[in-house]
Amino acid sequence: MTTHTEPLDSVLEAVGETPLVRLQASPDEVPVFAKLESFNPGASIKDRLGEYMLRRMLERGDVDPGGTVIEPTAGNTGIGMAMAATQLDLAVTFVVPEKFSVEKQVLMRALGAEVVNTPTEEGMKRAIEHAGELAGETDNATVPQQFSNRLNAEAHEQTTGPEIREALDGAVGALVAGCGTAGTLMGTARHLREHVPALHVVAVEPEGSLLARTEGQSVEQSEYTIEGIGTTNLATNKLYDPELVDEVRQVSDRTAHAEMQRLASEEGQLVASSAAAASVAAQDVAERIRDGELDVAHERVVTIFPDSSERYLSKGVYGTFEEWAGEDDG
């Protein structure tokens, strides 16, 4: 782990040790702290995964130096893995559903990756299948598969969790984070629970996503614009363990969009839609703790802001809701 105070030899050494910043809109009595993952060199939380997974996979012999990593990814994972691959003598190919932002795909290509698109309407499920097909046709290739690989959650159990615990001297009452693969929430929660067994854990997803069904909420699937979290197929999310989660909180596109703009204009936080959704849910948890509706061991909430809004400017994040989400979404 780096302290960022000494000269470094490679961008990989600059991964992690991101700042924890208080949300100014959170109640004074129950502050929310957000971990700003855009401070990583590839500007998202997935740099942790890229470095951790590829190093471990090389150590274990899942792939040999000079080999190829093929991964279905919505984008940030691709950037994190492609960056790590440049330093670890690996080639990378990513399978990306078309709907994801062009900025991410441009960055993956700049880092030397090959990008293969699959149709948006076939979702991540098709991207995952196609990655497997490509790996079958390529020598010395492996598919890390962030949706089912335990190394994904382990990266956060080893880095994100300890960093939060150290920064707050272990005094964390609730952890609130968005779930895509759920690696972030599962790994971080696992580490923090060892120190705070009563930690209240909240998974955040967009309205229209289906994780809430794991706790008996009768939610329906629908399209959403919030990027990087949520699922249309529960079977895909192999890392998600409902036993580790106390509640699932859904946030609408409209609420996330308003919060994304508020975070920028009031708090100087240039974060994207999944961070905005987490922010809304974390503030809600903090208010419930303040109002005595939720009992926790420490009156402090931690959330995670996975990446920056700059990565989505082409999607109109700072335009009107309709410019960002399209007329049909709400």
- Residues whose CB falls within 8 Å of the CB of residue 199, separated by 6 or more in sequence, listed in order: 172, 173, 174, 175, 189, 192, 193, 296, 297
Q: Which among 177-185, 241-249, 254-262, 280-288 is the span making contact with ligand PMP, rule CB under 6 A?
A: 177-185
Residue with tokens 């049909």, as numbered in its chain: 328
Query: Which lies closer to ligand PMP via its Cβ, residue 256 or residue 289?
Result: 256
Tell me: does residue 207 bind ligand PMP (CB under 6 A): no
Query: Which lies closer to ligand PMP via its Cβ, residue 204 or residue 289?
Result: 204
Query: Which lies closer to ligand PMP via its Cβ, residue 213 or residue 290?
Result: 213
To ligand PMP, the closest distance from the beta carbon of 243 in angstroms equals 17
Q: Which one of residues 16, 41, 72, 306 is an interface residue with ligand PMP (CB under 6 A)? A: 306
- On the CB side of 3, how many CA atoms lie within 13 Å of its CA? 2
Q: Which one of residues 88, 272, 276, 301 is an interface residue with ligand PMP (CB under 6 A)? A: 272
Q: What is the amino acid identity at position 67? A: G
Q: Which one of residues 53, 179, 248, 289 is an interface residue with ligand PMP (CB under 6 A)? A: 179
Distances (CA, A) of 239 to 26, 79, 150: 30, 21, 7
Tell me: does residue 144 bind ligand PMP (CB under 6 A): no
Tell me: does residue 181 bind ligand PMP (CB under 6 A): yes
Length reported for the chain: 330
Tell me: does residue 180 bind ligand PMP (CB under 6 A): yes
Residue with tokens 């969009």, as numbered in its chain: 257
Tell me: does residue 282 bind ligand PMP (CB under 6 A): no
Please list, residue by residue across 292-328, b when 16 or more beta carbons sit within 10 angstroms of its beta carbon and e when fewer do.
eebebbbebbbbbbbbbbebbeebbbbeebeebbeee
Q: Of the candidates 133, 128, 134, 122, which has an alpha carbon nearest to the alpha carbon of residue 148?
A: 128
Tell me: does residue 184 bind ligand PMP (CB under 6 A): yes
Q: Of the candidates 284, 215, 219, which has an alpha carbon nearest to the alpha carbon of residue 246?
A: 215
Q: Pairing relation of β-strands 20-22 and 32-36?
A: antiparallel
Tell me: does residue 259 bind ligand PMP (CB under 6 A): no
Q: Which among 18-26, 27-35, 87-95, 173-181 is the span making contact with ligand PMP, rule CB under 6 A?
A: 173-181
Q: What is the amino acid identity at position 133? A: E
Q: Is 46 a catalytic residue?
A: yes
Query: Which lies closer to ligand PMP via its Cβ, residue 30 or residue 153?
Result: 153
Residue with tokens 């984008």, as numbered in its chain: 75
Q: Of the candidates 202, 201, 81, 203, which has an alpha carbon nearest to the alpha carbon of residue 151?
A: 81
Q: Which among 52-60, 137-145, 222-230, 253-261 is the span making contact with ligand PMP, rule CB under 6 A?
A: 222-230
Q: Which among 2-10, 84-92, 182-190, 313-321 is the span making contact with ligand PMP, rule CB under 6 A?
A: 182-190
How many C-beta atoms lie closer than 10 Å to residue 190's C-beta? 18
Count of residues that interact with ligand PMP, criterion CB under 6 A: 16
Tell me: does residue 159 bind ligand PMP (CB under 6 A): no
Q: Which one of residues 76, 209, 279, 303 is an interface residue with ligand PMP (CB under 6 A)? A: 76
Residue with tokens 């090389």, as numbered in its chain: 58
Query: Which lies closer to ligand PMP via its Cβ, residue 96 or residue 179?
Result: 179
Residue with tokens 């159990």, as numbered in its chain: 157
How many C-beta atoms lie closer than 10 Å to residue 290's C-beta? 15
Q: Which among 7-15, 80-88, 178-186, 313-321 is the span making contact with ligand PMP, rule CB under 6 A?
A: 178-186
To ligand PMP, the closest distance from the beta carbon of 317 in angstroms equals 12
Query: Which residues contact ligand PMP (rule: CB under 6 A)?
Result: 74, 76, 178-184, 227-229, 272, 274, 306-307
Name the residues annotated as catalytic: 46
